[in-house]
Chains A and B, each alone.
Chain A
Amino acid sequence: MDWPSARSAKPAPPRAAPAERRAERHRSLALRALLQELPGDRSSRVLELGSASGRNLDFLSQFASRIQIEDLYAPLPTADGEAPESPPPFGRLLGFSEAARFDVILLWDLLDYLDRDSIRALVAHLARFCRPGSLLLAFSSNQKEIPEQPIRFRFVDSETLEYDVASSRLRPGPRYVPRDIAHMFAGFRVQNSYLLKNGIQEYVFARE
């Protein structure tokens, strides 16, 4: 067998670089407004519909001693795939006990990855587990294209979020306008709304 020795071997071609991850920061006025509403006694109960993150858990534990993490991102359809059911079976995906009540729900940018019927179904399901005054944080882009997958935000501080741009792949954005969104959030009122320079419309909804 004629293996080249390490010394005589030609240098191996450089491996293809893994997909570059860039960390971007997002200054969120809605997040600041929401956090200002929370009591400082860790009594709030938070529903995180994004994925589990140690940093987010650490951050949220300042405000809440009970945090529900549901990672609703995972069952969502991608740009390439078809949704198995529309609207998704939120009653099964988010199978809370009837007694569960959340003070804060972090919806992030999930709205942009759901059609109108799905948003209505999700909002109706979440409303069952809110108290009057419960707050819901949501973002929606008015850009023609949005990232292929929902963004996994990480807390930096009370008004700054960070996220990785793992892929440059985009998909068409639904471009919901604020009036449409307000109609889809039956049982909630818009408490705060901010249009940022980057085309992100941020909302804090309050359960009526």
Chain B
Amino acid sequence: MWKKPEAETPQPESHAAPAPQPRSVPTPVESRREVAIIGASISIHGDVNGQEDLIIQGNVEGKVDLKQNNITIGKSGRVKADMYGRVISIEGEVEGNLYGGEQIIVRQSGAVRGNIVAPRVSLEDGSKFKGSIDMEPKGVEKARSQGALAPEVKGRADSSVRPGAEADASARSAAATAKPESSTARV
């Protein structure tokens, strides 16, 4: 009675490589890691949050909160915001505090002015950094419990970045969701 119709459970056709497959095999779409991109011509004033990886090539002021995901600030990215991510990689410029659950990497072209909290931190030769680095294993949780994640600025626009929002598309969605209200990011 509860058995699904066979048509709904696709079986691998080839038996050449009988690798054990979990029952809930992700579909190609599910297995592809979603990455959103804020294009170089995009400016966002407000909070950015969501459940997918993010590449920032444009300007962001406010807060970037993607604790379970990776954040990359591209070479043309300019961010004035506190950022929360799993792995945060900086190639552009950031002014704000960075909280990385796993690692924060400041690449050769990167410049950071702010404080870093992450169990692993890497500064590549040529990178610029000014601020404190806290590599205590539970530093991020500690910062979180001390209220670092609490909203500190009233009236921030909620400008969540939508999946697959790239370049021009992201311009439209960001413009639609991010109010042009200035956000005073705490840095």
B135 close to chain A: CB less than 8 A: yes
Nearest-Cβ distance from residue B138 to partner chain A, whole angstroms: 10
B172 close to chain A: CB less than 8 A: no
Q: What residues of B have a CB within 8 angstroms of the CB of A70 in the complex?
A: 130
Contact in complex: A52, B123 (CB < 8 Å)? yes
Contact in complex: A52, B127 (CB < 8 Å)? yes
Residue of B nearest to A56 (CB): B123
Nearest-Cβ distance from residue B155 to partner chain A, whole angstroms: 27
- Interface majority SS on B: helix, strand, loop or mixed? strand
Which of B109-145 touch A at CB < 8 Å?
121-125, 127-136, 139
Residue interface bits A41-66, CB-to-B below 8 A is 1, else 0? 00000000000111101000100011
Q: What residues of B have a CB within 8 angstroms of the CB of A69 in the complex?
A: 129-133
Q: What residues of B have a CB within 8 angstroms of the CB of A61 in the complex?
A: 135
Contact in complex: B124, A57 (CB < 8 Å)? no
Contact in complex: A53, B130 (CB < 8 Å)? no
Contact in complex: A66, B130 (CB < 8 Å)? no
Contact in complex: B136, A52 (CB < 8 Å)? no
A151 close to chain B: CB less than 8 A: no
**With A52-B130, A71-B130 as given contacts, are A66 and B135 in contact (CB-CB < 8 Å)?**
yes
Contact in complex: A67, B127 (CB < 8 Å)? no
Contact in complex: B130, A57 (CB < 8 Å)? no
Which of A121-154 touch B at CB < 8 Å?
none
Q: What residues of B have a CB within 8 angstroms of the CB of A66 in the complex?
A: 132-136
Query: What is the bound-complex CA distance between A53 and B121, given in angstroms?
Result: 11
Which of A92-139 touch B at CB < 8 Å?
none
Query: What is the bound-complex CA distance between A54 and B139, given in angstroms?
Result: 20
A78 close to chain B: CB less than 8 A: no
**With A52-B123, A54-B124 as given contacts, are A67 and B133 in contact (CB-CB < 8 Å)?**
yes
Query: What is the bound-complex CA distance between A55 and B139, given in angstroms?
Result: 22
**With A57-B121, A57-B123 as given contacts, are A52 and B132 in contact (CB-CB < 8 Å)?**
no
A68 close to chain B: CB less than 8 A: yes
Nearest-Cβ distance from residue A184 to partner chain B, whole angstroms: 26
Residue of B nearest to A69 (CB): B129
Q: What residues of B have a CB within 8 angstroms of the CB of A55 in the complex?
A: 125
Q: What residues of B have a CB within 8 angstroms of the CB of A71 in the complex?
A: 128-130
Nearest-Cβ distance from residue A166 to partner chain B, whole angstroms: 13
Q: What residues of A have a CB within 8 angstroms of the CB of B129 in the complex?
A: 52, 69, 71
**With A52-B128, A52-B129 as given contacts, are A65 and B123 in contact (CB-CB < 8 Å)?**
no
Contact in complex: B123, A53 (CB < 8 Å)? yes
Contact in complex: B135, A65 (CB < 8 Å)? yes
Residue of A nearest to B122 (CB): A54
Residue of B nearest to A100 (CB): B132
Q: What residues of A have a CB within 8 angstroms of the CB of B128 in the complex?
A: 52, 71
Contact in complex: B136, A67 (CB < 8 Å)? no
Query: What is the bound-complex CA distance between A70 and B106, given in angstroms?
Result: 16
Contact in complex: B135, A68 (CB < 8 Å)? no
Q: Give the 9 A-B residue pairs with the shortest CB-CB distance, closest first.
A: A52-B129, A54-B123, A68-B132, A65-B136, A65-B135, A67-B133, A66-B134, A52-B123, A71-B130
Some 12 contacts from A to B, beta carbons below 8 A apart, are A52-B127, A52-B129, A54-B124, A55-B125, A61-B135, A65-B136, A65-B139, A66-B136, A67-B135, A68-B131, A68-B132, A69-B132
Apart from A53-B125, A57-B133, A69-B133: 19 A-B pairs, beta carbons within 8 A = A52-B106, A52-B127, A52-B128, A52-B129, A52-B130, A53-B123, A54-B124, A57-B122, A57-B123, A61-B135, A65-B136, A66-B132, A66-B133, A66-B134, A66-B135, A67-B132, A69-B132, A70-B130, A71-B128
